[in-house]
Amino acid sequence: MKKIFFILLFLSGVFLVQCGRSGYVLSSPPEGVADMETVAEHYTAGRGEGIRVFVPAGVPDTDTGISLDSIYYRGRRAALRKTEKDSYAVYIADFPATARPDRVVHSDPRKESGNRPSSVSSGIPFDLEDNEAVVRYTEKGKVRYFRISRVRLVEPGSH
């Protein structure tokens, strides 16, 4: 009986250490963020286009010690920038279309020989559906993550 107890204790300790090492434990969202809907919209600006994500934060974070810094969405990561108006704050992230300016497309295959193959790995540490996102934020100097379970894709200017 004691052997089984020590084996279970050892295995649970190993499990807890492995979970702690990943560094990507999802926590609850900061107060005010979870109460509002996160939306995304397609944008076109100049010669660029992509998807812009809006994460409402309610009250500005000047006195809470919480700062949202990046978001993982549709297999990519983007920095969040904060915008404030009156007593309302929103974080915005741009995900430009994946144009590759270093790629040569030409009718002569010899001119395309220097192209590097595309990477198939997403490079983000989370498994997300197309309408999900994970936000990285700091709270009192500690990095945390929370999941947004529904990002609604809207028409430009309709939110």
Does the CA dihedral 159-132-98-67 come out positive or negative?
Answer: positive
Q: Which residues, 6 or more positions from 76, have their beta carbon under 8 angstroms from its beta carbon?
A: 95, 122, 123, 124
* % of the chain beyond a pLDDT of 90: 23
Average pLDDT, the chain: 75
CA nearest to 134, candidates 157, 152, 111, 151: 151
Model pLDDT, residue 120: 45
111 has pLDDT over 90 = no
Q: Which CATH class is domain 24-97+124-159?
A: mainly beta
Largest CA distance in the chain: 74
85-105: average pLDDT: 77
Instruction: For residue range 19-51, list pLDDT tens digits in order.
Output: 333 456 677 777 666 567 899 999 887 767 899
The Cβ of residue 81 has, within 10 Å, a number of other Cβ atoms equal to 12
Q: Which residues, 6 or more positions from 13, have their beta carbon under 8 angstroms from its beta carbon?
A: none
Model pLDDT, residue 39: 93
Model pLDDT, residue 63: 62
Q: What is the pTM of this model?
A: 0.67
Question: Which of 35-39, 125-129, 133-137 shows the highest mean pLDDT?
Answer: 133-137
Model pLDDT, residue 22: 43
More confident call, 3 vs 16: 3
